Structure 1
Amino acid sequence: MSQAVSVYSLFTDFDVSLFRAGKHFRLYEKLGAHTVVHEGKEGVYFAVWAPNAQTVSVVGNFNGWNPHSHPLYVRWDSSGIWEGFIGGIGLGEVYKYHIHTGSGEHLEKADPFALLSETPPRTASIVSTTWYQWDDEEWMRNRESHNALNRPFSVYEMHLGSWMRDPEEPERLLTYREIADRLVPYIREMGFTHVELLPVMEHPFYPSWGYQITGYFAASSRYGSAQDLMYLIESLHKQGIGVFLDWVPSHFPGDAHGLYKFDGSHLFEHEDPRKGFHPDWKSYIFNYGRNEVRSFLISNAFFWLDRYHVDGLRVDAVASMLYLDYSRQAGEWEPNVFGGRENLEAVSFLQEFNEAVYAHFPDVQTVAEESTSWPGVSRPTYGGGLGFGMKWMMGWMHDTLNYFKEDPINRKYHHDKMTFGTVYSFHENFMLPLSHDEVVHGKQSLVYKMPGDEWQKFANLRALYLYMYTFVGTKLLFMGAEFGQTSEWNVNQSLDWHLTQYAPHLGIQHFVRDLNRVYKDTPALYEKGFSPDGFQWIEYGDRDNGVFAFVRRGERPSEEVLVVLHLTPVVRDYRIGVPASGTWEIILNSDEELYYGSGIQQHAVQAEDIPWMNCEMSITIKLPPLGGFILKRV
């Protein structure tokens, strides 16, 4: 039998002062539910922040959900923390907090720091643990060498519930462990360096893709336990594959059991709806100026990096955080103290988040999904930047897809879309994203964005991937794109894996596999991915023939590579300037028959002493239709 609540605390006065100052970044060690032994009795210590509550009690199966049975004690220090020890209960106990608000409401809330939640649509918290016997010491010891900005980043973005399902049980979600057993060998075979998971934190509405979070510290129980997710991450690490998580500090939903009006007041969200309500997603925006909220959010980032050995965080919807007028009309927002539209509190929060993460986890990366021209997103905070490691290059993505969707006969009128990116490519540390957002809501799959008949669509798609992998910056590709998924992404079903039995799809899959191999084996393609020293245009003005050529360089100039793209559907003999004499060997050809190409074969060409395209030497090469090469001097 459970016993009455005893006075007990994991908080020291120093913990409380850090929390109230917004500087406690490991709150998950204090708040929430923790199994402890107190006065020789096993039980659970509960602690929750609810400063505007009249009373707080723990309710659950153990007391018949009686709000009067187990009241918590409020701390004497005005911190707003309610806490206490309940003996006779332990792991697996289902509970909520019953909160009697200052206005007289009675609320039942899930624990904001719960490590596990009931499987939706049920909403209670479960006393749990993140203890795990990790077996990824080698990866963690050498992680810095995998995550450095001069190393290859080929990221496979995926949603756990719709990546793959059991064909005999298509309605059932695979567990974390089942996914691990299928995913790890696939990623290793395909050659991606990292996997990025759409939000795994608990969310009540499955079609939100995980972006409407109620349990920030709980891995979604739809797929199993915390330890099951750790097994998935560990399994990837043991094969040399990093793991990034999508992280959402920008907004949260208004579900009754969640953070919204947690203690009857606007505790986590900004009270002013002009700052606290998101008009696009009908959700609520964190109050970044409140110290305790900053501690909550940065602690959450630390939690996934610490307890789950995650290698990086991709921060969602950064632009929505930075601008007070984001998706708002005149009169629907209030300027900052300087009369501007910048959200100064959010800017300060993002800077502190990045400073804290890199100070405590120097071998990880943070990546911003930021869709505007905000300056210095991936620049150090001491110079006024936001401090991220990388930023999604949304402009490159939009321009490139807009070019490729054009019929080749019209591409000469859109030629500048392929070259404009180099005007600003080195302003930030850019990641090139072909993400989930580009294959939903009527936007079509990537292959169906391409013009022409089936052969031409797949040839264009291979050329697009060749351009992405050889252009400056790191790479991200959403699941299904690697084999030419034809339908839009549907979160409620598996990818169409059966397509890989057909030559066009198998060809794309083989091409992406070989692209990853060549990318990782060619330092010129990644060592200077954020530096103008690593890129040189050779041909960027031949709009009539749809030809682009550029050189990529790494630390050793002798290992430079030449990339040639030909984006019209004819075969063309073509002279191209080269930066050095010798024999230039084709190390990857997107037109090979293995990839469902036309099979125009050419393996090596000798440079001639003929000046061309501002180069002293040149080669003549046969360009395939809608294809390209990577050439290396031998």
Structure 2
Amino acid sequence: METVASATASPAASALLPLVQQDPWLAPYADVLQRRLDRLHQRLREIEAECGSLTRYACRHQQLGLHYDARRRGYWFREWAPAAQALFLTGDFNQWDRSYTPLTRRPDGVWEVFLAEKTFPNLVHGSRYKVHVHAANGHRDRLPATVRRTVQDEYTKDFAAQVWRPEAAFSWTDQQFRVNNFVKEPLIYEAHVGMALEEGRVGSWREFADLVLPRIQQEGYNVVQLMAVAEHPYYGSFGYHVANFFAPSARFGTPEDLKYLVNEAHRRGLAVVMDVVHSHSVKNEAEGLGNYDGSGALYFHPGPRGQHPGWDSLLFDYGRPEVQQFLLSNLRYWLEEFHFDGFRFDGVTSMLYHHHGEGVGFGAYDQYFGPEVDDDAVLYLQLATSLVRDIKKSALLIAEDMSGMPGLARPVAEGGLGFGYRLAMGLPDYWIRQLKHQRDEDWSLGGLWHELTNRRAGEKTVAYCESHDQALVGDKTLAHWLLDARIYSGMQRTATPDLETGRAIALHKLIRLVTLGAGGEAYMNFIGNEFGHPEWVDFPREGNQWSHHYARRQWSLADNPDLYFHAWLQFDQAMIGLERRAHFLNAGPARLLHLDDDNKVLCFERGGLIFAFNFHPERSLPDYRFFAGTAGVYTPVLNSDSAAFGGFDRIGTSIQHFTQPDEHGTPFLSLYLPSRTAQVLDLTPSKRKGG
């Protein structure tokens, strides 16, 4: 591994760090970056001395919890609880007797017991159990920290650990799948398995694999990003209040069902990324890790520092070696046990700063290197990204950070944090602000271009115009902002839609295409938003009478050719398909060719393609001339005004366009740009070579 290999090497001089070379504004902070790297090297030396490698160190899930010993014919159970007074294992195997099966404490604070088959013949696959902890905070039943399967009682709603040892191991058939063979540029489909069906109920891993994966493949996306994978007691948390970090949520099926989903995705050429939550944990003590041994901390910081003020959750102590090992082991477990292809790290901003980004605007470099930065979190993230790369070199690593931390998406050896991509979190906020507070005719295309292209050089970005955050109850999707009540009554396709519906149909396409075209080096869509799903997401809760009506996806709307939802789906598929053919996301940043704020025209080039947008609400522009960048013959390859996409077929798609030189020999194109349309033209390959 690159980082481990360099752990024993002499550190480079601060001024020579590639991150500083790339960004001269980082020069005053070169020593801070070097200290971070030195600290990582020191920690890696300690880990290597203890375990031999970072991968071997990430083995907490193999040491703790319930494990079958074939040689001794029985189960070992171990739990880390150094401040506890006594631990007992209780379950249906011993009639839930809380004193019958005591554990013995080791010097390292780990408690253990061996349960021989002949003594406990009822401890079998499917058995339910808990840990009974005697500590300063009383006597409590808890779930094991590394439990791999939990189930909820139908009547009491209590969670219990479950022995999971099926007779036949899952048979993987994805051995030939490699991320870099199928994913040239990540086109990410963010999805929640439970709300992926049209029926008003919780969907399963297998139903998602059989019913939704074919749609994702057909639409052209190449990465599935799964939310809410790890077990969480409250369904409505969207999976972000995790209690059991090693247990796939049982509400969606068995661990084998999740493996089936990943295996099926790989068979279809789709990588699978897990939305991993290491930024915080649920406060529930009965199900989670809070105050596990009665010390008031253990996995989390003690006192106020261990409480997130906005999320009502607990904050990990990233500086504690056992916590580092627990979280690193969690990453290894999901990669190896379930063949995930990487992670989208949630809440990275909250991890990186003591203030968690709450009410803070980031505008100065001092904020990335001052006392508010949590150096322990920086170290943990560097260890985490290094570990993932060590296990799966081509893994996808995406950071959800709104602060703009320099080096977040640069290699650790360069002084960065090691992520491959960062989310362009400002883009969806920008689009919502435009739709809420600006008339179309007042949109500043200069402002739009700034938002689309204002990102750190050398750090790859995932562009998106909306995600699950914009789909939650209390907010609206882009389609809902554009249509309001017409999203229910005005989506029947007609020859001439009313003005408001026509505006929405056109702008929904333009917003998505311009974001894909210029916003980053990868692209993300939330399940259903590609066809303008008509409703927000609201999980079953007491306030809505536990209804699933808003926690589902109405695929029938997208499948109905008589509705504009279908037209939007067709456009999205064509848009994604164009990227799959042209690979323009990998072609460097978009190059501005022309910006006309008066006529609302924006033209740019990327990867040999010319993107031409007319955002004007009324003005269609015949014979509109603009700088083409490269002389040659251009062929239309995408047209938002196609009737198939809900448009009016005002743009001829069979016409080749020849550049014409001006008096200085500068190549110009002349196009018809109808109002609220976009078109993409490709430089004819034979001409491109000599262009």
User: Alpha carbons of 1:23 and 1:608: their partners in 2 closer, same or farther (altered >3 Å)?
Assistant: closer
Aligned partners of 1:567 and 1:587: how far apart in 2? 19
The C-alpha deviation readout for 1:29-77, integer Å capped at 9, x for no partner, is 22111122354x3x322111111111111100111211211112222x4
State the partner residue of 1:270.
Answer: 300
CA distance in 2 between partners of 1:430 and 1:86 (Å): 53
1:579 offset after TM fit, Å?
Answer: 2.2
Equivalent position amino acid for 1:95 in 2: Y
| Unmatched tracts of structure 2, length 5 or more | 1-46, 361-365, 484-498, 540-547, 685-691
SS of the equivalent of 2:516 reads helix
Which residue of structure 2 lines up, in the alignment, with residue 622 of structure 1? 672
Aligned to 1:450: 482
SS at match of 1:585: strand
> CA deviation digits over 1:433-463, x for unaligned, max 9?
3210012242212112237611211210100
Q: Structure 1: any 5+ residue segments left out of the alignment?
A: 1-13, 554-559
Choose the corresponding residue for 1:174, options 160, 180, 203. 203
Query: CA 1:15–1:420 in structure 2 vs 1: closer, same or farther (change >3 Å)?
Result: closer
Corresponding position of 2:639:
589
CA deviation vs aligned residue, 1:265-285 (integer Å, no higher than 9, x gap): 234443433321001111000
Query: Is contact 2:509-2:571 (8 Å) kept?
Result: yes
Q: Distance in 2 between matches of 1:269 and 1:31?
A: 14
More deviation, 389-398/401-410:
401-410
Aligned-partner Cα distance in 2 for 1:439–1:537: 31
Task: Say whether 1:564 aligns with 2:612.
Answer: yes
Q: 1:544 to 1:329 in 2, by over 3 A?
A: closer
User: Against the structure 1 CA distance between its residues 328 and 527, is the aligned structure 2 distance closer, same or farther, given a 3 Å change threshold?
Assistant: closer
- Alignment equivalent of 2:660, drawn from 603, 609, 634: 609
Listed one character per residue, the Cα deviations across residues 439-496 of structure 1 (whole Å, up to 9, x for unaligned) are 2242212112237611211210100111122113200000111111122123333122
Counterpart of 1:25, as a letter, is A
> Is 1:418 the counterpart of 2:465 in the alignment?
no
Aligned mates of 2:575, 2:172 — CA distance in 1: 32
Cα displacement (A) at 1:404: 5.1
Question: What is residue 28 of structure 1 aligned with on the other side?
Answer: 61
Residues of 2 paired with 1:617 and 1:339: CA distance?
A: 50
Partner residue of 2:130?
96
Q: Matches of 1:418 and 1:465 in 2, distance apart?
A: 14
Please state whether the residue corresponding to 2:69 is helix, strand or coil: strand
Q: Deviations over 1:332-351 (max 9, x none)?
A: xxx99x97111111111111
The corresponding residue for 1:232 is 261
SS of 1:314 mapped into structure 2: strand
Deviates more, 1:422-431 or 1:214-223: 422-431
Residue in 2 that maps onto 1:122: 158
Q: In the alignment, is the contact (CA less than 8 A) between 1:400 and 1:418 conserved in 2?
A: no
Q: 2:243 aligns with which of 214, 222, 239?
A: 214
- The offset of 1:16, in angstroms, is 12
Distance 1:477 1:17 in 2: 43
**Structure 1, residues 279-319: CA drift from partner, whole Å, max 9, x if none?**
11110001101100010001101111111111110000100
Secondary structure of 1:513's counterpart equals: helix
Task: Compute the TM-score of the two structures, normalised by the length of structure 2.
Answer: 0.81
How far 1:427 sits from its partner (Å)?
Answer: 5.0
Counterpart Cα distance in 2 of 1:176 and 1:357: 24
TM-score norm. by structure 1 comes to 0.88
Q: Residues 175 and 606 from structure 1, CA distance in 2 versus in 1: closer, same or farther, beyond 3 angstroms?
A: closer
The yes-or-no answer on 1:476 pairing with 2:524 is yes
Return 182-191 or 26-35, whichever deviates more.
26-35
**SS at the partner of 1:300?**
helix
Query: For the Cα contact (< 8 Å) 1:403–1:415, is it kept in 2?
Result: no
1:315 has 2:345 as partner: yes
- Do structure 1's residue 539 and structure 2's residue 594 form an aligned pair? yes
- Give the secondary-structure state (helix, strand or coil) at the position aligned to 1:298: helix
CA shift, 1:415, in A, is: 3.7
The SS at the match of 1:321 is helix
1: CA distance between counterparts of 2:163 and 2:50?
A: 27
Shift of the alpha carbon at 1:146?
A: 2.9
Cα displacement (A) at 1:600 = 1.0
Q: How many angstroms apart in 2 are the aligned matches of 1:259 and 1:152?
A: 38
Partners in 1 of 2:280 and 2:138 — Cα distance? 24
| Residues 231, 244 of structure 2: 8 Å contact kept | yes
Identity %, equivalent residues:
26
Structure 1 residue aligned with 2:586: 527
Query: Could you say which residue in structure 2 is the equivalent of 1:80?
Result: 110
CA distance in 1, matches of 2:297, 2:76: 23
Match for residue 486 of structure 2?
none
- Residue type of the partner of 1:409? E
Q: CA deviation at 1:152?
A: 2.0
CA distance 1:605–1:325, shift in 2 (3 Å) = same
Q: Which residue of 2 aligns with 1:146?
A: 182
**CA–CA distance in structure 2, aligned partners of residues 165 and 321 of structure 1:** 36
Match of 1:365 among 383, 386, 396: 396
Tell me how far apart the structure 2 counterparts of residues 45 and 615 of structure 1 sit (CA, whole Å).
Answer: 79
Alignment correspondent of 1:576: 626
Q: Answer whether contact 2:640 2:678 (CA < 8 A) is retained.
A: yes
Aligned residue identity for 1:351: Q
Match of residue 518, structure 1, among 578, 582, 599? 578
1:305 paired residue number: 335
Aligned residue for 1:495, secondary structure, equals coil
What is the deviation of 1:388?
0.7
Q: Deviations over 1:166-187 (max 9, x none)?
A: 3xxx2x3222112211012111
| Structure 1 contact 400–417 (Cα < 8 Å) conserved | no
CA RMSD of aligned residues (A): 2.6
In 1, distance between residues paired with 2:49 and 2:137?
Answer: 27
Q: Which residue of 2 aligns with 1:464?
A: 511
Superposition deviation, residue 28 in structure 1: 1.8
1:485 to 2:533 alignment:
yes
Distance in 2, Cα, partners of 1:239 & 1:37: 37
2:6 counterpart residue number: none
Change (3 A) 1:178 1:91: same
Contact 1:96–1:108 at 8 Å: present in 2 too?
yes
Give, in whole Å, the separation in 2 of the partners of 1:112 and 1:583.
63
- 8 Å CA contact retained: 2:441, 2:617: no
Checking the alignment, whether the CA contact within 8 Å between 1:270 and 1:285 is kept in structure 2 is yes
Alignment partner of 1:439 is 2:471? yes
Describe the shift of the 1:441–1:539 C-alpha distance in structure 2 as closer, same or farther (beyond 3 A).
same
Task: Determine the structure 2 residue equivalent to 1:11.
Answer: none
CA distance in 1, matches of 2:419, 2:165: 31
| Secondary structure, aligned partner of 2:442 | helix
* Aligned match of 2:30: none
Report if aligned partners of 2:61, 2:333 keep a CA contact under 8 Å in 1.
yes
Local SS of the residue matching 1:182: helix
Aligned residue in 2 for 1:600: 650
* SS, match of residue 468 in structure 1: helix
Equivalent residues of 1:250, 1:318 under 8 A apart: yes
Paired with 2:665 and 2:427, the residues of 1 have a C-alpha distance of 27
- Equivalent AA in structure 2 for residue 446 of structure 1: L
Counterparts of 2:240 and 2:658, CA distance in 1: 53
Q: 1:498 maps to what in 2?
A: 556
Q: Tell me, what secondary structure is at the counterpart of 1:372?
A: coil
The letter of the residue matching 1:246 is D
Alignment CA distance shift 1:615-1:440 (3 Å): farther
Q: How far off its partner does 1:627 sit?
A: 1.7
Residue 164 of structure 1 aligns with an amino acid whose one-letter code is L
Q: How far apart are the structure 1 equivalents of 2:480 and 2:291? A: 44
Which of 124, 136, 154 is the equivalent residue of 2:174?
136
Note the C-alpha offset of 1:143: 2.5
In structure 1, give the amino acid aligned to 2:170: Y
| Alignment partners' CA distance in 1, 2:475 and 2:649 | 31
Aligned length: 589
